[in-house]
A and B are shown apart, each in its own frame.
Chain A
Amino acid sequence: DQQVKQNSPSLSVQEGRISILNCDYTNSMFDYFLWYKKYPAEGPTFLISISSIKDKNEDGRFTVFLNKSAKHLSLHIVPSQPGDSAVYFCAASESGSGGSNYKLTFGKGTLLTVNP
């Protein structure tokens, strides 16, 4: 039973355009969400996070949107660059269980390819 779902295994965009990666969750107790990026032969790298008290968080080219009623979040990358090509993981946690970054539950990931 997957509690965090990334339904698009892959996404291809042109350099300079917007990349939108989507994530859905089923556990209503999740209240903290994160995005990680992973290159081959490296561990996941933290990108950006959002608490359920917000609906948007921005950091440079990266923006995460949270729609609690739909149990949906998305990561927007604008403008996309070839160096953004990687696997992107959505993760969620229940802060009441021990803190906002306790026991992360991950989706299966989306492979983003940004073409020059």
Chain B
Amino acid sequence: ETGVTQSPTHLIKTRGQQVTLRCSSQSGHNTVSWYQQALGQGPQFIFQYYREEENGRGNFPPRFSGLQFPNYSSELNVNALELDDSALYLCASSLNTGTQYFGPGTRLLVL
């Protein structure tokens, strides 16, 4: 059984650029959730995708967008990057509304 994987592991961007982060869900899972973890904070819910549709969103602006593909992998896109977007981005997969299993995260630094 393959766990949740994320790519890249680290990324450096400059303010105003756009970034795409990728997540492969655990085998058998059909739901992907994205979280942002700033330094010294707990993870904050960005949005969730269920069967390729957005299934809820946290308090993040529209420049945070996502996709889920037929194989249930997912992308998180962030446009017009700001310095405060520097964080660890975590992807979690689950079967429907079951337990969420997290990937190792992508650490994004915006300069």
A: which residues have CB within 8 A of B? 4, 6, 34, 36, 41-46, 49, 89, 91, 95, 97-109
Contact = CB atoms under 8 A, between A and B. Distances in A.
A102 B41 contact: no
Contacts of A100: 97
A46 B99 contact: yes
Interface stretch (B14-22, B61-69, B74-82, B100-108): B100-108
B1 to A, nearest CB: 15
**Majority secondary structure of chain A interface residues (helix, strand, loop or mixed):** loop
28 contacts: A6-B42, A36-B102, A41-B104, A43-B4, A43-B102, A43-B104, A44-B43, A44-B90, A44-B102, A45-B102, A46-B101, A49-B99, A98-B56, A98-B97, A99-B96, A99-B97, A101-B94, A101-B100, A102-B56, A102-B97, A103-B33, A103-B48, A103-B58, A105-B45, A106-B35, A107-B42, A108-B41, A109-B42
Contacts, number: 61
A104 B43 contact: yes
A4 B99 CA distance: 19
Given A43-B105, A99-B96, A89 B42 contact: yes
Contacts of B40: 108
Among A43, A89, A97, A103, the most chain B Cβ lie within 10 Å of the Cβ of: A43
A87 B3 CA distance: 21
A18 B105 CA distance: 31
A100 B96 CA distance: 10
Given A43-B105, A89-B42, A103 B56 contact: yes
A101 B102 CA distance: 13
Contacts of A89: 42-43
Given A34-B99, A103-B33, 17 more contacts: A36-B102, A42-B104, A43-B92, A43-B104, A98-B55, A99-B96, A101-B97, A101-B98, A101-B99, A102-B55, A102-B56, A103-B45, A103-B56, A104-B43, A104-B45, A106-B44, A108-B42
